[in-house]
Structure 1
């Protein structure tokens, strides 16, 4: 349900006042009408939560969701624009916020269809954008296993880029918000739950980016089966950005009251174990012998 995190992020950013003309969304778009979705056309990101899919743009969907297009969108690629596709046309006075949510491993983020975004390519894009003065500052949030490996020892601290990773370079991420009665899956990744909760409840005009990072860092732990588990958020690049800038400068300054913003996450799983845990749960909850065997 990683796309549900992206949908939720869109709703939060939009509600805080960032206009659609300044937003580009990439998502595979396979959840809302999926055969296993009992509520066709609706996607939720927390148990009992609102529909986060309604109104989400379809700038890049399906086979268009590739690392190549992602980097081109970031860099305002003229060829994509000429094809009628939306790209980020930012300049030297602009602040850019990017949220990427997918599977990861050592120095890679896995896009759909087996495509891989490599750390060296992402960091080179940052360097090129800085040289071309395509932003004043850029803040990048990454939710993935081993997310820190995309920036550690690779992201310079002098190109006006600040990055937050959900995990350390060698650490697996966690899914959260399991829902078995209706959806039979996890509805979110834990990193998304945490930063979106903060963005829904804090006064973003007064909260620094560093304060949000500390919020994420401090809450990235939970108890499961009597044991304390941690997911260690990291920060990289130009750390002065986080101390000087308010979250509202990247996510909007409109104050809004969100529904169910403080519902505590429940039901966790290591991201890489999620598929097998779903099958295990199906075995546990059915009395049909044939179904168990299948």
Structure 2
């Protein structure tokens, strides 16, 4: 009986594979199987409020687009929500109108305060963590994972500061990504960094399947956007502000592309020059859906065929019903976007 079930199952699987091969190329959006995000703010002290707002804003966007907390690693070097200088405790805002509290009620910080170190960051990427490390502090990716890596803080030519006490160099970061590739820990990476001289951090990359964007070129500063008079400090950086302005108009089933995202902050808006490195990335960014990195919408085939999985012998031509020509391909909504609808920043 088990042998019969095995052969019947093989028949149905083969028929299903034949059906999937008929899916149009624009429906098959990529070969990755899961999405992860590593979001890092490396700065302490009240005057660096904007860096916390930067990372929490990106965190809010990727959650809204479908990446669950279980697949987001959030590293925040300082807790601005609890800072005694904060006139509105338990809140962090990214706009002076204060209409979005990006700290929210459901923020899950995985590495907090002095846990945000170069060592922990490199160990996280490479998977070389100490035994007993909680699952929430692990990047459990595989060769099918697309990873968004977002960094914000203070940097210079070839380095990014952590906690104003140590630095990760561009070579160390490049070697960590190469270890990830050798250990089959990613399929594709989108590397995004908002610091001064940010492009210097991707110059040493040599691993495949990495698309990178930086808020400033070598020799340029990455500038803040505006001050909130009620808080008394700059509350967001220019590049991240314009990136969020774009992301707020993206839905989980959006057809917007990474190519469009790479152009979100022209020089007249950012003042600095946005840098892009695409030589390691084999796909055309203008053909890569933004949800390949900022969301969790994976290739899902709907309406091609339905299969009768019950065991019925003899098999008939009615077992598998082909789709009618007039029926349309579509994606199912996978996240309650309406709960997060608000005015754009």
How does the TM-score come out when normalised to structure 2? Answer: 0.68
1:34/1:78 CA distance change after superposition, 3 Å: closer
Query: What is aligned with 2:291?
Result: 248
Residue number among 64, 71, 75 corresponding to 2:126 in the alignment = 75
Q: Aligned to 2:192, which of 141, 154, 169?
A: 141
Aligned length: 250
Give the CA deviation at 1:245: 2.0
**TM-score in terms of structure 1 length:** 0.80
Q: Which runs of 5+ in 1 are unaligned?
A: 223-228, 264-294
Shift of residue 68 of structure 1?
1.4
- Is the 8 Å Cα contact of residues 217 and 275 (structure 2) preserved in structure 1? yes
- After TM superposition, give the deviation of residue 260 of structure 1 in Å: 2.3
Question: 1:92–1:134: 8 Å Cα contact kept in structure 2?
Answer: yes
Q: Secondary structure at the match of 2:177?
A: helix
Cα deviation for residue 243 of structure 1 reads 3.6
CA contact (8 A) 1:138 1:160 kept: yes
Question: What SS is found at the alignment partner of 2:236?
Answer: strand
Residue 242 (structure 2) aligns with: 194
Are residues 21 and 112 of structure 1, via their aligned partners in 2, closer, same or farther at CA, if it must alter by over 3 Å?
A: same
Q: Which has the larger helix fraction?
A: 1
Task: Give me the whole-angstrom Cα distance separating, in 2, the residues matched to 1:41 and 1:203.
Answer: 28
Go from structure 1 to structure 2 and tell me whether the alpha carbon gap of 1:258 and 1:176 turns closer, same or farther (over 3 Å shift): farther
Kindly indicate whether the alpha-carbon contact (under 8 Å) linking 2:81 and 2:103 is maintained by their aligned counterparts in 1: yes
Instruction: Tell me the alpha carbon deviations over residues 135-188 of structure 1, each in whole angstroms, 9 at most, x when there is no partner.
Output: 110111000000011122x123x51111111100111010012112x1111110
Q: 1:230 aligns with which of 271, 290, 293?
A: 271
1:60 aligns with 2:111: yes
Q: How does 1:33-52 map to 2 (within 5 A)?
A: 33-48=82-97, 49-52=99-102
C-alpha contact (below 8 Å) 2:227/2:235 kept by paired residues: yes
Cα deviation for residue 78 of structure 1 reads: 3.5
The one-character-per-residue Cα deviations of 1:216-252 (angstroms, maximum 9, x if unpaired) are: 3x2x424xxxxxx721111114244434421111111
